[in-house]
Structure 1
Amino acid sequence: MDKWLSHPTSLKIISLVIGILLWAVVHFDSEKSPNTVASLTETKVIDAVKVEATGLDDKNYALRVIEPSTIRLTVRGTASNLVFATPDDFQVTVDVSGAKEGRQVLPVTVSLPRGIERIGVEPSVVTVELEKMVTKEFEVQITTEGQPANNYKLGEPIVKPNNRVHITLPEDRMDDVGFVGANISVEGEEDTVNEKKLKVNVLDKDGNEMNDAQINPSVVEVEVPITKPFKKLPLQLGLTGKMPDGLAISSFQPSVDQVTIYGPQEMLDRYDFYDGLSIDLSKLKQSGTMELNIPPEDGIASVDPNKVTVDYTVVPAATKVLPQLKVGLIGLSDGLKAKLVTPESGMLDLPIQGAPNMLKDVGVQDVQLIADLSGLGPGSHVVPVEIHLPRFIEDHLDGPLSVTVEITDASHPPDAGQTTGKADSGASTGDAASGTGSQTGGAALSGGGETAQGNDQQQAVQPGEPNEQTGQETVPSGGPNGQAAHTDAAVEGSEGTGGMSADAGTGTSTDAGGSTASGG
């Protein structure tokens, strides 16, 4: 027996039996009925349970009032069920699906957690008031914030698909609407703001958002034009290279001759024409059409159009010779005079080539031959000749063209034996009676193409007196039309070099090139 009592399993069984007996003793009450012995339920009062409306037709009605908005609820359940139930588990609703406009009294419905029963509801009915909904059309107002870049100008915002929306509100609140629209930022924008989607807001007259407003559509697409200053300019196409041997351009027609550029005004003011495009003539071997992009230069926002199409015709080249073109001298330093040594006449023949239809219209007046004497001092110099021709006309030379120029110091007086001022000296003399041999207008009298730095007009010189004033050669820069420059050769009156002769009877002097000046 002692062995059995000391066994662990026996001890567990005995402990369980004793525990059951003790529980029965504690809960047994001989004065009460068996049904109440094991009763553990409690009663609980829940104040201020909110009443929610269900079944509302919010397209036609707005719920304005529920009175009272909360009720007092009495429930019963076990202590554990009441403890673990949350406030959200107790729901009180009123069904307004069948309600009409105005005030009416409706019963409430209570929903409780499982294991809890309702004892009482105070009150069991509530008063509801429904307001009829109305819809009104409003214009969408778009307000911009900030400033575009470069002081560009803002245009009027555009709302797509249109600038109208429908607002639905209770009838008694419709008059409170103060603003229907949206805000958009344009700070630092350089281009038109496109396809920006914005949510439409409804504000009352005090600037407060009306959250109960129904908006259709609630999102709109907005475009804000940003206008840039613009300027129209001639379009210049640059040409590089030379046409392939034996070929020439007979027609060259771009689709546009001017473009419009957009950008800050200070940048536009720097442009008088728009270039930057070049065409390599060496690649044009047959007639055709080419398309060129017109990129915006630095500081320019855009160019319109951004492409140009050029139609051109290539034909076999023809040649011809332009005879006796005068070589102009430019860039001579002060105090120096220059004379063409080779060619002595100051004239050159120039072979040119081009399309026959263009070549036939090119004359002497369309060509410039320029020798630049900049930086040259006294002495003999071989100077390259710059040839300026009309567009699509080329020279037909075997090599570079050059001339030999003799530069002397104009301030150094000539030798006494060079001029005597007398008629029989072989130099220039005037009429002894009139005592003058004047030249005006700076005409070219030196057959050798001599030029000197000095005044533009030759003063009258008495026979035998040296002339210390010289004329200055002037060679205009010419223009894009390729007009040849006119050279005013320098003249020395009584100190001429033998290129001027004088008639003692008439006082008329004649240069080697055929120019005349009257002395009397």
Structure 2
Amino acid sequence: MDKLFNSHWFVKIISFFIALMLFAMVNMDDLTSQPGILPSLSDRTSTLEEVEVSVLYDEENFAIVDQTEHVQVKLSGSQSAIAFFQLMRPTYEVFVDVTERQEGVHTLSIQHRGFPGDLSVSIVPQFARVELQEKQTVSIPVDVELVNTDGVKEGYSVGTPMVSPVNVTVTAAREVAAEVADAKAYVDVTDADKMLEEAVPVKLYDSSGNELHLDVEPGIVDVRVPVTSPNKSVPIKVSREGELEEGLSIESVNVEPKEAVIYGPFDVIESINVLEGLTIDLDDITESETFTMELPVPAGVQTIDPEVVEVTVNVAEEESRQWSDVPIEMIGASDETDVRFNEGEDDTLSIIAHGAETNLDQFSVDDIQVYIDVSGLSEGEHSVPIKINGPQNIRFSVSKTNVEVIVSDQSESE
């Protein structure tokens, strides 16, 4: 077929037949006017149905809220004129002009243009109704609605969306503009695992939730939706190395904030219960001081909040207080063994607590545990080291560091 249309002779033949047909239609009226050649032919009519009525109006200040939309157009003329119109279909327009009219209902005679001059044009109905209403511009805040929030990746959470601009404007007929209740932008968060940034179309709704198809400016807004990975809060631990110079004691070590939020995969963060890695060197501290320290990021953790903390070390002059006859607890003995202090071995000792006055004022001997661990000891005599669990920032001196015990089989002792 393409080869046929590209043929030089084919185009010439088609052009000849079109010219011949046009010549016949143009000269048909002359032939019918000559008696004895052809019988007389009367004028023909052609009816155009559902012809759209255009309205010329002040579009900047007014809006059309109602109008006659379609009419019927009857064309009358010679057979050749009708045929030529039907063949060529020239551009025509049926319209009313209300550019000089104000708000209200107007009934005007329908006009036309573009029809051939040798045709008579009749329009039914002859008048059109147009209702104009003054335009009004309203500003509406954009509400971002998240779709499929249950579909975000496991453990991730969606934050509050941000939209720019925060308001859109709607210009429409006064009564129509008053119907606008909401401007919404919808964002689908299915499988979201990071910040979403999308250009989203704005939809308008009335108070009943029906969508309104009106011009809105801008029609598209930029939306950012924060998506947070799995996270948990953990306490921050500050370790110490070195020693204060003689005569000084730590009164307190404070971290601000006391906890940090770690973000990362579930299998990583679920095993982290404390944030370690901060260390202060007591050798360098001679007075109360505050440090800004960067928090270490554990392996596998994506981010941490905050990234830095303030560590305040308060020091004071060291004081001492003594307690006597503090009992030594024995732990770790099995049911199959009998463990006793060696004959002549005292099961108590004296303790001296060293620390800042404020800490010693709050300290009681009941706040410490003095014990020996005899688990795993074989039968016989053993010298076991004395251990002390007590409050932080207080150090202890004891009257002895070891005690002698005898381990025997339980069945033999019975």
TM-score, normalised with respect to structure 1: 0.46
**Among residues 102, 106, 121, which one is paired with 1:103 in the alignment?**
106
Kept in 2: contact 1:259–1:303 (CA 8 A): no
Kept in 2: contact 1:366–1:390 (CA 8 A): yes
Distance in 2 of aligned mates of 1:86 and 1:190: 59
Task: Write the deviation string for residues 358-404 of structure 1: whole angstroms up to 9, x where unpaired.
Answer: 4677565444322112233422234333222321123569xx95443
Instruction: Report the residue type matching 1:338 in the other structure.
Output: V
Bigger Rg over Cα: 1
Kept in 1: contact 2:384–2:404 (CA 8 A): yes
Kept in 2: contact 1:55–1:97 (CA 8 A): yes
Task: Write the deviation string for residues 175-225 of structure 1: whole angstroms up to 9, x where unpaired.
Answer: 9x59644364576789999999761323596x76432x4557867899999
Q: How far 1:126 sits from its partner (Å)? A: 5.3
Instruction: Report the residue type matching 1:201 in the other structure.
Output: L
**Among residues 61, 64, 70, which one is paired with 1:62 in the alignment?**
64
- The structure where strand makes up a greater share of residues is 2
- Structure 1 residues 382-461: aligned runs within 5 Å: 382-395=383-396, 401-413=401-413
Distance in 2 of aligned mates of 1:325 and 1:184: 71
Show the counterpart of 1:243. Answer: 243
Q: How far 1:329 sits from its partner (Å)? A: 0.8
SS at match of 1:123: strand
Distance in 1 of aligned mates of 2:207 and 2:358: 78
Kept in 2: contact 1:63–1:128 (CA 8 A): no
Kept in 1: contact 2:251–2:316 (CA 8 A): no
Q: 1:91 to 1:354 in 2, by over 3 A?
A: same
Task: Write the deviation string for residues 22-63 of structure 1: whole angstroms up to 9, x where unpaired.
Answer: xxxxxxxxxxxxxx9xxxxxxx98956644333343643315
Aligned: 1:254 with 2:257: no
SS at match of 2:291: strand
Instruction: Report the residue type matching 1:310 in the other structure.
Output: V
Instruction: Report the residue type matching 2:205 in the other structure.
Output: V
Range 349-358 or range 151-160, more displaced: 151-160
Distance in 2 of aligned mates of 1:393 and 1:292: 25
Kept in 2: contact 1:232–1:258 (CA 8 A): no
Distance in 1 of aligned mates of 2:177 and 2:322: 91
Q: 1:225 to 1:215 in 2, by over 3 A?
A: same
Show the counterpart of 2:7. Answer: none
Q: 1:68 to 1:220 in 2, by over 3 A?
A: closer
**Among residues 182, 201, 205, which one is paired with 2:204 in the alignment?**
201
Aligned: 1:123 with 2:122: yes
Q: 1:111 to 1:208 in 2, by over 3 A?
A: farther
- Structure 1 residues 323-342: aligned runs within 5 Å: 325-341=326-342
Q: 1:321 to 1:383 in 2, by over 3 A?
A: same
Kept in 2: contact 1:52–1:94 (CA 8 A): yes
Kept in 1: contact 2:330–2:372 (CA 8 A): yes
Distance in 2 of aligned mates of 1:215 and 1:200: 8
Q: 1:67 to 1:247 in 2, by over 3 A?
A: same
Show the counterpart of 2:374. Answer: 373
Kept in 2: contact 1:75–1:118 (CA 8 A): no
Q: 1:281 to 1:309 in 2, by over 3 A?
A: closer
Show the counterpart of 1:478. Answer: none
Show the counterpart of 2:284. Answer: 285
- Any stretches of 5+ residues in structure 1 without a counterpart? 1-35, 37-43, 264-269, 415-520
Q: 1:393 to 1:224 in 2, by over 3 A?
A: same
- Any stretches of 5+ residues in structure 2 without a counterpart? 1-29, 31-44, 264-269
| Equivalences, count | 346
Show the counterpart of 1:474. Answer: none
Q: 1:155 to 1:240 in 2, by over 3 A?
A: closer
Show the counterpart of 1:485. Answer: none
Q: How far 1:338 sits from its partner (Å)? A: 1.4
Q: How far 1:147 sits from its partner (Å)? A: 4.4
SS at match of 2:412: coil
Distance in 2 of aligned mates of 1:165 and 1:391: 64
Q: How far 1:407 sits from its partner (Å)? A: 0.9
Distance in 1 of aligned mates of 2:282 and 2:201: 53
Distance in 1 of aligned mates of 2:199 and 2:260: 27
- Give the number of the structure with larger relative contact order, counting CA–CA contacts within 8 Å between residues 6 or more apart: 2
Kept in 2: contact 1:247–1:285 (CA 8 A): no
- Structure 1 residues 471-490: aligned runs within 5 Å: none
Q: 1:281 to 1:152 in 2, by over 3 A?
A: closer
Distance in 1 of aligned mates of 2:291 and 2:133: 70
Range 310-319 or range 386-395, more displaced: 310-319
Task: Write the deviation string for residues 67-121 of structure 1: whole angstroms up to 9, x where unpaired.
Answer: 654646799999xx9999776x545554331234323324535358xxxx64336
Distance in 2 of aligned mates of 1:94 and 1:165: 30
Task: Write the deviation string for residues 117-148 of structure 1: whole angstroms up to 9, x where unpaired.
Answer: 64336237752412325759798796664445
- The structure where helix makes up a greater share of residues is 2
Distance in 2 of aligned mates of 1:373 and 1:254: 36
Task: Write the deviation string for residues 435-492 of structure 1: whole angstroms up to 9, x where unpaired.
Answer: xxxxxxxxxxxxxxxxxxxxxxxxxxxxxxxxxxxxxxxxxxxxxxxxxxxxxxxxxx
Range 240-249 or range 368-377, more displaced: 240-249
SS at match of 2:281: helix
SS at match of 2:212: coil
Kept in 1: contact 2:342–2:405 (CA 8 A): yes
Distance in 2 of aligned mates of 1:170 and 1:74: 43
Distance in 2 of aligned mates of 1:194 and 1:47: 52
Distance in 1 of aligned mates of 2:327 and 2:252: 30
Distance in 2 of aligned mates of 1:295 and 1:193: 28
Q: 1:377 to 1:184 in 2, by over 3 A?
A: farther
Distance in 2 of aligned mates of 1:401 and 1:357: 27
Show the counterpart of 1:345. Answer: 346
Q: How far 1:333 sits from its partner (Å)? A: 0.6
Q: RMSD of the alignment, in Å?
A: 6.2
Distance in 2 of aligned mates of 1:163 and 1:348: 77
SS at match of 2:99: coil
- Structure 1 residues 151-190: aligned runs within 5 Å: 168-169=172-173, 171=175, 180-182=182-184, 184=186
Distance in 2 of aligned mates of 1:160 and 1:382: 76
Task: Write the deviation string for residues 422-445 of structure 1: whole angstroms up to 9, x where unpaired.
Answer: xxxxxxxxxxxxxxxxxxxxxxxx
Distance in 2 of aligned mates of 1:204 and 1:316: 72
SS at match of 1:376: coil
Instruction: Report the residue type matching 1:346 in the other structure.
Output: D
Q: 1:388 to 1:238 in 2, by over 3 A?
A: farther
Kept in 1: contact 2:252–2:315 (CA 8 A): no
